[in-house]
C-alpha cells in the first residue's frame, strides 16, 4: 500500500509519469551520447596523429581523414538536434513549476516533446555507434585490444541503441504518435500533406546559395516527408499502423529532416555570433555536408515508401512529384570532407566545444 501523500502524480495516471520519465531519459541519453562522441573523436585523432605507417602519420591518409570528417559532421548534426530540443523544452517549461508533485501541466508539456525525445535518442546513439566503430577502425588491430580505451568505448556504446526503448521501438513511436495526433485533430498533418500535393507544380530547383539554399532544401525535404506520409495514410488507411516497414521508412525521413534542419538553423545562428571566422566556416561546411548526406537517405526512403504504397499510374505521378522535390544543386562533398578533416585534425578535438 502506498500512503496517499506518497502518490506520484494523479491517482490512476501513473503511466503519464512513467512515460514522461522515459521521454526525459531518452533526451538525456542523447546528451550523454554526444559527450561520448567527443571523447571518441579526440581519442581517434590522437592515435591517428601518433601512429605511423609507410613513414607518415595515419592522419595524412585520405581514408582516415574522411572518417574523421564524417564523425565530426554527424556529431555536429546530433549536437544541433540536442541543443535545439533542449531550447524547445526550456521555452515550453517557462513558468511551469516542475517541482510540484508531477503536475498535470508539466506532464502535458513533457508529453508534447515525446517525438523529439525519441528522435534525439535514435540519432545520437547511432552517431555514437558510428563513431566508435570508425574509431576502432582507425586504431586498426590495436582497437580490438583492451589496453586501448577505444575498445571499451566500442563495447559501452552498444547498449545505447537498446535501452530507454530500442531504436526500432523509438522509430515506430515517431510516425505512430504523429498519426495519432493527426487522427485526434491535434495536428493538421493530413491537411498539410494535401497542400503539398497541390503545391508540387511550383516546386522548382533550389536556386539560393549557401545557407539560404540549404534552408530551401530543408523546406523541400519537409514537403517530401509530408507527401510520403500523406500517401501512406491515404492508401493504407488503418492498416498503416501495423505496417512496420512503411512506418520505419517514414520515421527515418522525419529523423533526417529534424537533423538537417537543426544543423542549418544552428549554422545560420552561428554566423551572427561573435566567434572566429574559421569556426563559422566549419559550422557552415558541417551543416552543408550533413544536410546533403541526410537528403540522400531521405530520397531513398521516400522512394521505397512511395513504391510500397502506390501502384501503376498513381505511382508514376507520385515519383514525378518526388523528383521535383529532390532536385537540388550538386556540391563537392569530398572537398568539404577534406576541409572539415583538416580543421578538426589541426584542432585535435571536436571543434565547437
Ligand atoms: C544494461 C541494461 C540496463 C537496463 N536498464 C534499464 C532500466 O534502468 N530500466 C528499465 O526499465 N529497463 C532497463 N533495461 C531494459 C531495456 O530497456 C530493454 O532491454 C529494452 O527496452 C529492450 O527490451 P527487451 O530486452 O525485452 O528486448 P525485446 O523487447 O525482446 O526486443 C528484441 C528485439 O525485437 C524488437 N522488438 C520488440 N518488440 C517489437 C515490436 N513491437 N515491433 C518491432 N520490433 C520489436 C526490438 O527492437 C529488438 O530488436 C536495461 C537493459 C540493459 C541491457
- The CATH code of the domain that includes 103 is 1.20.140.10
Minimum-distance ligand 1 atom for the alpha carbon of 169: 47
Q: Are residues 274 and 181 in the same domain?
A: yes
Residue 132 in any domain: the answer is: yes
**CA-CA distance, 196 to 185, in Å (whole number)?**
19
The last residue of a domain, from among 161, 189, 209: 161
208 with 75, same domain? no
Q: Is 66 a member of any domain?
A: yes
Q: Which domain holds residue 260?
A: 168-347
67 falls within a domain = yes
Q: What is the pLDDT of residue 336?
A: 96
Q: Is the dihedral of CA 134, 276, 339, 343 positive or negative?
A: negative
Residue 23 resides in a domain: yes
pLDDT, residue 17, reads 87
Domain end call among 139, 161, 183: 161
Q: DSSP label at 2? A: -
Residue 163, ligand 1, Cβ within 6 A: yes
On whether both 183 and 298 belong to a single domain, the answer is yes
The whole-number pLDDT of residue 353 equals: 58
Same domain, 71 and 177: no
Output the CA 245–ligand 1 centroid distance in Å: 20
DSSP three-state, residue 352: coil
Q: Which residues, in sequence order, are CB contacts of 232 under 8 Å at separation 6+?
A: 240, 243, 246, 250, 305, 308, 309
Co-location of 35 and 127 in the same domain: yes
pLDDT for res 340: 97
Ligand 1 pocket: which of 121, 164, 165, 169 to mutate (most atoms within 8 A of CB): 169
Q: Are residues 79 and 149 in the same domain?
A: yes
Number of helices and strands in the chain (H, E): 12, 2
241 CA to centre of ligand 1 in angstroms: 21
Q: What pLDDT shows up at residue 213?
A: 93
Grid coordinates in use for 151? 575498445
Query: Are 175 and 311 in a shared domain?
Result: yes
Give the burial class of 44: count Cβ atoms within 10 A of its Cβ; 0-12 exposed, 13-18 middle, 19 or more buried. buried
For a mutational test of ligand 1's pocket, the pick from 166, 246, 248, i.e. the residue with the most ligand atoms closer than 8 A to its C-beta, is 166
Answer yes or no: do 100 and 222 share one domain: no
The residue whose CA has the least distance to atom 17 of ligand 1 is: 163
280 and 306 fall within a common domain: yes
Q: How far is the CA of 163 from the centre of ligand 1 (A)?
A: 6
Q: Measuring CA to CA, which residue among 197, 224, 242, 230 is closest to residue 301?
A: 224
**pLDDT value at residue 39:** 98
Which residues are catalytically annotated?
164
Q: How many domains does the chain have?
A: 2
Residue 4 forms part of a structural domain = no
Each residue's pLDDT, cut to its tens digit, for the chain (353 residues) gives: 889 888 888 888 888 889 889 999 999 999 999 999 999 999 999 999 999 999 999 999 999 999 999 999 999 999 999 999 999 999 998 888 777 766 778 888 889 999 999 999 999 999 999 999 999 999 999 999 999 999 999 999 999 999 999 999 999 999 999 999 988 888 898 888 888 877 776 666 566 789 999 999 999 999 999 999 999 999 999 999 999 999 999 999 999 999 999 999 999 999 999 999 999 999 999 999 999 999 999 999 999 999 999 999 999 999 999 999 999 999 999 999 999 999 999 999 999 75
Q: How far apart are CA 66 and CA 337, in angstroms?
A: 6
Closest CA to 124 of 13, 35, 214, 42: 35
d(CA 143, CA 154): 9
The phi, psi pair for 57, rounded to 5°, reads -65, 150
Are 175 and 198 contained in the same domain?
Answer: yes
* 128 and 219 together in one domain: no
Q: Are residues 154 and 211 in the same domain?
A: no
166 Cβ inside 6 Å of ligand 1: yes
Torsion 98-101-103-109 (CA) sign: positive
Contact 286, 72 (CB under 8 A): yes
Domain stop point among 161, 180, 212? 161
DSSP 142: G
Amino acid at each position: 500500500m502506498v500512503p496517499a501523500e506518497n502518490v506520484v502524480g494523479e491517482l490512476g495516471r501513473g503511466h503519464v509519469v512513467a512515460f514522461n520519465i522515459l521521454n526525459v531519459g531518452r533526451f538525456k541519453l542523447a546528451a550523454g551520447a554526444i559527450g561520448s562522441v567527443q571523447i571518441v573523436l579526440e581519442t581517434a585523432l590522437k592515435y591517428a596523429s601518433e601512429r605511423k605507417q609507410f613513414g607518415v602519420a595515419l592522419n595524412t591518409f585520405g581514408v582516415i581523414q574522411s572518417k574523421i570528417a564524417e564523425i565530426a559532421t554527424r556529431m555536429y548534426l546530433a549536437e544541433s538536434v540536442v541543443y535545439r530540443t533542449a531550447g524547445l523544452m526550456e521555452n515550453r517549461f517557462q513558468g511551469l513549476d516542475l517541482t510540484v508533485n508531477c503536475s498535470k501541466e508539466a506532464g502535458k508539456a513533457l508529453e508534447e516533446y515525446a517525438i523529439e525525445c525519441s528522435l534525439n535518442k535514435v540519432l545520437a546513439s547511432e552517431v555514437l555507434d558510428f563513431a566508435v566503430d570508425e574509431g576502432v577502425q582507425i586504431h586498426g588491430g590495436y582497437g580490438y585490444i583492451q589496453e586501448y580505451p577505444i575498445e571499451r568505448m566500442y563495447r559501452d556504446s552498444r547498449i545505447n541503441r537498446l535501452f530507454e526503448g530500442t531504436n526500432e521501438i523509438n522509430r515506430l513511436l515517431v510516425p505512430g504518435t504523429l498519426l495519432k495526433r493527426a487522427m485526434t485533430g491535434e495536428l493538421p498533418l493530413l491537411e498539410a500533406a494535401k497542400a503539398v500535393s497541390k503545391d508540387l507544380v511550383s516546386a522548382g530547383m533550389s536556386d539560393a546559395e549557401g545557407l539560404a539554399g540549404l534552408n530551401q532544401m530543408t523546406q523541400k525535404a519537409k514537403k517530401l516527408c509530408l507527401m510520403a506520409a500523406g500517401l501512406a495514410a491515404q492508401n493504407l488507411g488503418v492498416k498503416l499502423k501495423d505496417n512496420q516497414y512503411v512506418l520505419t521508412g517514414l520515421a527515418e525521413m522525419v529523423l533526417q529532416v529534424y537533423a538537417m534542419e537543426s544543423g542549418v538553423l544552428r549554422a545560420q545562428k552561428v554566423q551572427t555570433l561573435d566567434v572566429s571566422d574559421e569556426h563559422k566556416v566549419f559550422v557552415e561546411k558541417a551543416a552543408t555536408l550533413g544536410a546533403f548526406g541526410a537528403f540522400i537517405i531521405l530520397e531513398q526512403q521516400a522512394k521505397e515508401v512511395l513504391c510500397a504504397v502506390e501502384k501503376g499510374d498513381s505511382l508514376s505521378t507520385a515519383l514525378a512529384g518526388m523528383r521535383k522535390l529532390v532536385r537540388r544543386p550538386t556540391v563537392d562533398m569530398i572537398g568539404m570532407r577534406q576541409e572539415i578533416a583538416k580543421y578538426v585534425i589541426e584542432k585535435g578535438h571536436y571543434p565547437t566545444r
